[in-house]
A = this chain, B = another copy of it.
Amino acid sequence: MDVDHVSSLLREFKTGELSLEETVEKLKILPYEDLEFAKLDHHRLIRQGFAEVVFCQGKTVEQVQAIVQRLAEYNHSILATRASKEMYTAVKAVVADAEYHELARLITVERQKPPVDSERFILVMSAGTSDIPVAEEAAVTAEIMGNEVRRVYDVGVAGIHRLLDQRQLIEQANVLIVVAGMEGALASVVGGMAAKPVIAVPTSIGYGASFGGLAALLSMLNSCAAGIAVVNIDNGFGAGRLASIINQMR
């Protein structure tokens, strides 16, 4: 409950600008827009610092199109995840400045670059080349939310010198995102190298007993290095979002 909002409502009620019924009604109404199949939370920008992000999986192309169109009327920056190319084409038809990041399957709209503190950067690392799509989802998410992002890809632990070579960059980073499939060991090694928050993203890269990313997920959850937290398998967006929140704390 927003105290200021309630206070001003109460004052309007006291002065008679609002009736008892109107006041009760307004107290219950919060700022979202109802498209019937979706309730757009336009308040989220204020509450959480970024507009509602569209999760496209399971939605029809028409639904994605309508939602992005509406959001684009109220927001400078928009992000839609797990979007197919077909969804992008439909969106592009109604939001001309929408862009598509094919590897990361993201649709973005960015009308006004947020100010970026280039000193405080997020480092996105991937264990293998095959993990890059998820790493890019994290990186682009963090960028559109106003962060400096650097990328170091293909530094899996089987060639530990490639990783040790990045020590300086790791130490300079403000937040680390570690993206790895297979056994996900990269998170533990990086976690032991610096005292910065490490967000581990297991990927579904692998086969057999990787069980769709379960191996990497369990590995990361059981990391012997403290200071690591984990997001869902292939959830580059979640990692990028959390890294952005941490990176923008003062």
Chain A residues bordering chain B, tally (CB within 8 A)? 114
Within the complex, what minimum Cβ distance (angstroms) separates A35 from chain B? 8
The answer to whether A38 touches B213, judged by C-beta atoms less than 8 angstroms apart, is: no
What 0/1 readout, one digit per residue, does chain A (151-163) give for beta carbons within 8 Å of chain B?
Answer: 0011111111110
Decide yes or no whether A106 CB sits under 8 A from chain B: no
Q: Chain B residues with Cβ under 8 A from A159's Cβ?
A: 32, 39, 41, 43-44, 52, 192
Decide yes or no whether A231 CB sits under 8 A from chain B: yes
Could you give 25 example pairs across A and B, Cβ below 8 Å? A10-B13, A10-B20, A28-B167, A30-B164, A58-B130, A157-B225, A158-B188, A158-B223, A159-B192, A174-B249, A182-B222, A182-B224, A183-B223, A183-B224, A185-B219, A199-B229, A204-B208, A208-B212, A209-B221, A210-B218, A214-B218, A215-B219, A226-B238, A228-B242, A229-B230
In the complex the two chains form, what is the Cα distance from A6 to B27 in whole Å? 9
Q: Chain B residues with Cβ under 8 A from A32's Cβ?
A: 159, 161-162, 165
The answer to whether A58 touches B205, judged by C-beta atoms less than 8 angstroms apart, is: yes
> Which residue of chain B has the shortest Cβ distance to A240 in the bound complex?
B226
Decide yes or no whether A23 CB sits under 8 A from chain B: yes
Q: Chain B residues with Cβ under 8 A from A49's Cβ?
A: 195
User: Pick the contact of A224 from B30, B157, B222, B223 — CB < 8 Å?
Assistant: B157
In the complex, which of the residues A224, A245, A249 has the most CB atoms of chain B within 10 Å of its own CB atom?
A: A224
Chain A residues within CB distance 8 Å of chain B: 1, 3, 6-7, 10-11, 13-14, 20, 23-24, 27-30, 32, 36-39, 41, 43-44, 47-49, 52-53, 55, 57-59, 63, 67, 82, 127-133, 153-162, 164-165, 167-168, 174, 181-185, 188-189, 191-197, 199, 202, 204-235, 237-239, 241-242, 245-246, 249-250
